[in-house]
Amino acid sequence: MTGTTDANRPGRQRHWAAWEWLKVTFRRYHLERWVFLAATLVLVVVLLFPILWMVRISLTPDHLLFVLPPQGVFRNINLAGYIGLFSRIKIGRFYFNSVAVAFGTVLTCVFSGTLAAYSFSRFKYRGRNTLMVITLSAQMFPWAMLIISLYILYIKTRLLNSHIGLILAHSTFALPLTIWIIKSYFDTIPRELEESAFIDGCSRMRTLLSIVLPLTTPGVLAAAIYVFLFSWNDFLFGLTLTTTDRMRTLAPGITMKFIGEWEYHWVDMMSTSISITIPVVVLFLFLQRYFIEGLTAGALKE
C-alpha cells in the first residue's frame, strides 16, 4: 500500500512540475494570447474560405476552371466574367428592379414601422398586447403557405408581376422586425424629455418628429439596413410573384439564367454573385456599427 504511493509520488511530482512550468511560461510570455489567436485564425480562415473561392472562380480563365489542384491562381486573371455582366447576362434590368423594390420596401417599413413602434412604446391601450404578440410571432408564420394565398390574391388584384406587389410582400415580412428594433430604441429614451416638451406646448406629433425621432436615428438606420438586406437578398418572393424577365429581381433573375441554361458557367455565376454582393459589402463597410446594434437591439436590453 505504502509502496505504491511512494512509487507514484516522484512521477506525479514531475508531472505536477511540468504543469507548473507550463503555467508560468504561459503567463510570462502571454502565450495563451497566441494560442487563442492561432485558433481564431484557423476558424476564420475555414469559414471565409468559400468567399475567397468565389472570388477566385470569378477570375479563373475557362481552361483552368476544372483543373485540380488549382493552378495559376495569381498569374492568370480572367476578367471576362465581369466584362460580360451587363452585355451577355443582361443583369441591368434585374438590378433596376431590385433597387426599386428594396427602396420601396425600406420607405414603407420605416414609415409605418416607426409610427407603430412609437405607439407600442409610449401608450397603453386595449389590444396593444395582442398586437405586439402578433408582431413578434409574425416572423414564424409559414412563408411558404402565405405565398400561396398572396399568389392567388395577386392574380385577382393584378398585383402579380408588379413592383408594388413585391414591395408589399417584402414589407410584410420585414415590418415586424422594423417595429421591434425601433421600439427597443424608443424604450430607452426617457419620458421626461417628452413631458418637458408638452409643458412647453409641443403637440404629440411635433414631439415625436423634432425631439424623439432625432434621438432614435441609429435605431431607424439599423432597422432600415435589415429591411434593405431582406428585400435585396430575397429569392423566394421574387421567384414566385414575378413571371417575366422584365420584372424579376436579381436573385431569382440570375438563378433562372444559370440553373437550366448555363449550368456550368461557373465564372459568370460567381462574377454575377459578387456583383449582387457588392452593395451589401459597401453598406456593411460604412455602417457596420448599426448592423450589429440592430441585431442585438431588444435582445440585450437589460
Partner 1 sequence: MARRALGLSLTDRALPYLLLVPALLVGGVVLVYPLVNGILLSFTSYTFIQPQYKWIGVRNFASLFKDPIYWEVLLNTVTLTFSAVILQLALGLALALLLNSSIPFRGGFRGGVFFIWIMPEIVAALIWMIMLNSEFGILNFLLQWLGIAKHNVVWLGRPLEAKASLIMVYAWRGTPFFMVMILAALQTVPSTIVDASKIDGANAVQRFFVIIIPYIRDIIILCCLLSVVRLFQDVTQVTILTNGGPIYSTTTLAVHVYKQAFVGLQMGRAASVGVTWLIFLFVLAVFYIRLVTKGEFRK
- Reading the block at residue 227, the C-alpha cell is 429591411
- In terms of DSSP H, where are the helices of 123-257? 128-137, 143-157, 163-187, 191-199, 204-207, 213-215, 217-233, 236-241, 250-256
Query: For partner 1, what does the binding mask look like between residues 25 and 54, x meaning CB under 8 A?
Result: -------xx--xx-xx--xx--xx-xx-xx
Residue 296 binds to partner 1 (criterion: CB under 8 A) = yes
* Chosen residue from 107, 131, 213, 215 binding partner 1 by CB under 8 A: 131
* Chosen residue from 2, 28, 74, 140 binding partner 1 by CB under 8 A: 140
Q: How far apart are CA 154 and CA 128, in angstroms?
A: 30
Note the Cα 193 to chain centre separation in Å: 33
Residue 139 binds to partner 1 (criterion: CB under 8 A) = yes
> DSSP 3-state assignment of 6?
helix
* Chosen residue from 11, 69, 201, 260 binding partner 1 by CB under 8 A: 69
* Chosen residue from 116, 160, 224, 227 binding partner 1 by CB under 8 A: 116
Closest CA to 249 of 99, 49, 80, 57: 99
* Chosen residue from 83, 153, 193, 209 binding partner 1 by CB under 8 A: 153
Span from 5-13, 65-73, 82-90, 212-220 in contact with partner 1 (CB under 8 A):
65-73
CB of 9 to partner 1, least distance (A): 24
Is 49 exposed, middle or buried (CB count within 10 Å of its CB: 0-12, 13-18, 19+)? exposed
Closest CA to 241 of 160, 302, 145: 160
Residue 290 binds to partner 1 (criterion: CB under 8 A) = no
Residue (8 or 24) nearer to partner 1, CB: 24
Measured CA distances, 193 to 205, 206, 215 (Å): 14, 13, 11
Q: Identify whether the C-beta of residue 270 lies closer than 8 Å to the C-beta of residue 57.
A: yes
> DSSP 3-state assignment of 162?
coil
CB of 3 to partner 1, least distance (A): 33
Residue 299 binds to partner 1 (criterion: CB under 8 A) = yes
Residue (65 or 80) nearer to partner 1, CB: 65
Residue 104 binds to partner 1 (criterion: CB under 8 A) = no
- Reading the block at residue 238, the C-alpha cell is 421574387
CB of 5 to partner 1, least distance (A): 26
* Chosen residue from 1, 3, 66, 200 binding partner 1 by CB under 8 A: 66
> DSSP 3-state assignment of 77?
coil
What is the footprint of partner 1 within residues 159-218 (CB under 8 A)?
168-169, 171-173, 175-176, 179, 204
What is the footprint of partner 1 within residues 247-286 (CB under 8 A)?
250-251, 254-255, 258-259, 266, 269-270, 273, 276-277, 280-281, 284
